[in-house]
Structure 1
């Protein structure tokens, strides 16, 4: 796993480059948090395909577990994808609420993610 280092509005933001499998467990999310802190980042951008598909099935609990860790450690997160096409009402509401609070943002581009996190 590599990071592209963005400095935006005075904040160090990591854009994750992932060469392996998607982040598929809470443990992998915690490992990512540790790497981010170790490298001095304040926020992170992930692409939706870097997360296991179960993340977007709210019943699995994966999203809640991982996002709770990011909130607990006050690491802002932007997830880049095409979320306007989401069919699940529960997921659409979850995305809307996440975007409202500002700790976790679901965005359509890296640039939008930088704006949200910066």
Structure 2
């Protein structure tokens, strides 16, 4: 795993690059949050969709809700970058839409849009 910090003014975003799945369950999400917060002093994280278990995007598993609750509890912002067009689930599409209009979690297509969103909150 490689972490690069993108800074804009006082806002710092940890950009995570890895070929592995880094967010697989609540514990792996907590481990990533701790690593970023304590090693990089960042409270905003940008990861690729390929670094997140596919089960996260099946809302029936409740994995997304459990993980995102931890991000909220520990006051970290998250952007997951990738293509979400292939999902047919209306509830997932609604979830992504609502998240993108909030200030905590973003599901965006490219890294620049994710950086803009994270630096903007």
The answer to whether the superposition gives a TM-score over 0.5 is yes
Three-state SS of the structure 2 residue aligned to 1:101 is: coil
Supply the RMSD in Å over aligned alpha carbons: 1.3
On the 8 A contact 1:8/1:114 being kept in 2, the answer is no
How far off is 1:5 after superposition?
1.1
Unmatched segments (≥5 aa) in structure 2: none
**Number of the residue aligned with 1:36:** 36
- What TM-score comes out, normalization by structure 2 length? 0.91
Task: After TM superposition, give the deviation of residue 53 of structure 1 in Å.
Answer: 0.6
In structure 2, what is the equivalent of residue 56 of structure 1?
57
1:67 maps to which residue? Answer: 68
Cross-structure match for 1:113: 114
Runs of 4+ in structure 1 over 4 Å off: none
Cα contact 2:22–2:28 (8 A) shared by 1 = no
TM-score normalised by length of structure 1: 0.93
| C-alpha distance 108-21 of structure 1, shift in aligned 2 (>3 A) | closer
